[in-house]
């Protein structure tokens, strides 16, 4: 039984993989013209379908919206009961249907065309009513469904999803849609945090330990301990950053000398410490920590005045790894 389960799964993956690979044949001049039409659309992209294709249409709509192409979902059945009113003259309509012959689709197409908008068909039947009456037709024909009965939409819906993603990716690149643009539409959750959270959101909650070059060793250790960040900054009398002393620096110093009397911060601090400005993205700060294998970054303003410390644990706590 277990062997059969693995075989069922691998067979299904193989069939769907073949369906996706076959889409390369659809990346032709018709596809290029379709992308150009979407790129030049001054209105919204209205995406419609019914059944499983309707679910794919909703996913495609969500992808378009999140990547800078305004889109609305219109259920093919609801369209003929009032929802057709969402289609405006500057819009473009995508209709998804495997057969291209569904009764609801046949009713919808002439109604949409009467509004003077262009129609893009995504169908697995290029001889269908939908394909023949659309302005552009994208072929998502599959050899067979992954369903052993060749009935449940599986390979066909996978091909539809991939075609929608490919359209979105082309538009992203044509519009020069950046990760900062993406972040504007994803302010919540981990995506928003990775794209928007900066060091300014983290360091103010920490202590701000600092000593000056002449600070005696005992007080240096006290500053590190009190700050609970494993380090203390070394600044001049005007608060300009000079260096850093970590608890590791202190341990290494104790391993190499027995004479502690008269020792001060200037005898052990590291010059040119790794530092960032408040506007540095937390994601970038994490990369600096990993690159240099350190646990703390000093925070300074544009003139190198000391502001605080951000610790590796601050970033881990916020989900950065």
d(CA 164, CA 56): 9
Total Cβ atoms within 10 A of residue 90: 11
Q: How far is 211 from 214, CA to CA, in rounded Å?
A: 8
Q: Where are the alpha helices (DSSP H) in the chain?
A: 2-22, 29-39, 52-66, 76-79, 103-113, 129-133, 155-174, 179-184, 189-196, 217-227, 247-256, 282-292, 312-317
| Closest C-alpha to 212, from 262, 248, 264 | 264
Angle formed by the axes of helices 155-174 and 29-39, nearest 10° = 60
CA 24, 25, 29, 32 dihedral sign is: negative
The structure tokens 């072929």 sit at 139
The whole-angstrom separation of Cα 182 and Cα 63 is: 11
Annotated binding-site residue? 313: no
Q: Which two tokens stand for residue 26?
A: 């659809």
**How many Å apart are CA 87 and CA 79, to the nearest integer?**
10
Q: Would you say how long the chain is, in residues? A: 321
Q: Which residues are annotated as a binding site?
A: 75
Q: Which residues are annotated as a binding site for Zn(2+)?
A: 75
């Amino acid at each position: 039984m277990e062997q059969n389960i693995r075989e069922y799964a691998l067979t299904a993956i193989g069939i769907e993989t073949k369906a996706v690979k076959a889409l390369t044949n659809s990346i032709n001049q018709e596809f290029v013209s379709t992308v150009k039409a979407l790129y030049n659309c001054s209105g919204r992209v209205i995406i419609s379908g019914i059944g499983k294709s309707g679910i794919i249409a909703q996913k495609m709509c969500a992808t378009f919206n999140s990547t800078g192409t305004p889109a609305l979902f219109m259920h093919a059945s609801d369209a003929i009961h009032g929802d057709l009113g969402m289609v405006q003259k500057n819009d473009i309509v995508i209709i998804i249907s495997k057969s291209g012959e569904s009764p609801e689709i046949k009713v919808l197409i002439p109604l949409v065309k009467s509004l003077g908008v262009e129609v893009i068909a995504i169908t697995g039947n290029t001889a269908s009513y939908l394909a023949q009456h659309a302005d552009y037709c994208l072929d998502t024909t599959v050899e067979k469904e992954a369903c052993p009965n060749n009935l449940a939409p599986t390979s066909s819906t996978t091909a539809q999803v991939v075609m929608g993603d490919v359209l979105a990716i082309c538009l992203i690149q044509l519009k020069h849609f950046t990760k900062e643009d993406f972040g504007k539409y994803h302010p919540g959750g981990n995506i928003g945090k990775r794209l928007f959270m900066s060091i300014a959101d983290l360091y103010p909650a920490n202590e701000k330990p600092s000593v000056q070059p002449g600070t005696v060793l005992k007080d240096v250790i006290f500053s590190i301990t009190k700050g609970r960040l494993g380090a203390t900054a070394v600044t001049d009398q005007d608060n300009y950053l000079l260096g850093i002393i970590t608890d590791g620096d202190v341990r290494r110093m104790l391993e190499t000398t027995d004479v502690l009397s008269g020792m001060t911060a200037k005898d052990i601090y590291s010059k040119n410490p790794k530092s960032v400005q408040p506007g540095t993205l937390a994601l970038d700060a994490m990369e600096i920590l990993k690159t240099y294998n350190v646990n703390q970054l000093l925070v300074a303003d544009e003139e190198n005045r000391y502001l605080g410390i951000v610790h590796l644990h601050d970033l881990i706590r916020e989900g950065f790894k």
